[in-house]
Amino acid sequence: KDLIVLEDISKDYPGDGVITKVLESINISFEKGVFTTIIGPSGSGKSTLLSLIGALDKPTKGNIYFEREIITNLKNRRLANFRFEKIGFIFQQFHLLPTLTAMENVMCPLFTRKVDYSKKERAIELLDEMGLKDKVHALPSQLSGGQQQRVAIARALVHRPEWILADEPTGNLDSESSKIVFDLLKKLNKENGIGIILITHDPNLAKQTDRIVEIKDGKIVSDTLQTCKEDIV
Ligand code: ADP
Ligand code: ADP
């Protein structure tokens, strides 16, 4: 339970007569309680890996198990439902809709869904948790980068996902905002029990997580549990 397992995952992209092998025979599992970072050079396949885990794309080969269910064979509609139930995404670009307020942006994933709670109240509650109580009715253009990313995190949480997949969420932020966003992710993991898989280029952030997985040329070249060090001391 609370486990994502990737079994012999490969991903190719067909091009003009050439096939780009982006990931090759990846075997790895992720545990919800273990805050995991993925690091590696640009173009090594980190984003591709995350998009496969989050079922935004399908692997060329191999299976992905989500809490024992194989998701790799699901049809598109089932896959969309699976994402809605389990996954929240955040990216380097905040992808907020510019004409909607913070609250409306957070409610966005719920627009086409029936839920048994007040969408507005849920959005306001989350913005409050993100420290943005006074920005509920602000437009993205009236917010700093760090504040926009916190709106994006609230949006990623609005449908109560079990996992947050974060692709360089601090890549466009100054160090202060970066710390705020990172600390929020850490709190979501440790206090709210939400699984976090974070791609980052920042070694300082990676160091503060439980596990660092390093990817190079589409392969896992190292995988370090950092908590062990602390446990021994
Ligand atoms: P990273 O996140 O580590 O920077 P990516 O997963 O974004 O790496 O990309 C890995 C490689 O796969 C790159 O060479 C990239 O150009 C290629 N790639 C990624 N997505 C696609 C795609 N949709 N079509 C073709 N090539 C892609
Ligand atoms: P990030 O900043 O999250 O690493 P990238 O700029 O690497 O994002 O890629 C953004 C998106 O574009 C990803 O979904 C990736 O799969 C896709 N992509 C990256 N490289 C290529 C490529 N060469 N051809 C097509 N799509 C690509």
pLDDT of 73 reads: 83
**pLDDT per residue as tens digits for the range 134-157:** 999 999 999 999 999 999 999 999
pLDDT, averaged across the chain: 94
End-to-end CA distance of the chain: 29
- The SS3 assignment for 62 reads strand
pLDDT of 93 reads: 96
Sign of CA dihedral 209, 202, 106, 64: negative
pLDDT of 228 reads: 62
CA dist 1 and 68 (Å) reads 7
pLDDT of 67 reads: 83
List the one residue out of 3, 26, 32 whose CA is nearest residue 164.
32
Q: Which ligand is nearest to the CA of 171?
A: 2
| pLDDT > 70: percent of the chain | 97
pLDDT of residue 9 exceeding 80: yes
Residue 48 binned pLDDT confidence (cut-offs 50, 70, 90): very high
**pLDDT per residue as tens digits for the range 171-202:** 999 999 999 999 999 999 999 999 999 999 99
CA dist 53 and 6 (Å) reads 8
CA dist 59 and 53 (Å) reads 9
pLDDT of 233 reads: 43
User: What ligand 1 atom has the least distance to the C-alpha of 167?
Assistant: 2
Residue nearest to atom 24 of ligand 2 (CA): 13
Ligand 1 binding pocket mutation candidate from 9, 38, 48, 197 (most atoms within 8 A of CB): 48
**pLDDT per residue as tens digits for the range 69-114:** 899 888 888 888 999 999 999 999 999 999 999 999 999 999 988 8
Residue nearest to atom 11 of ligand 2 (CA): 47
pLDDT of 230 reads: 54
CA dist 150 and 180 (Å) reads 9
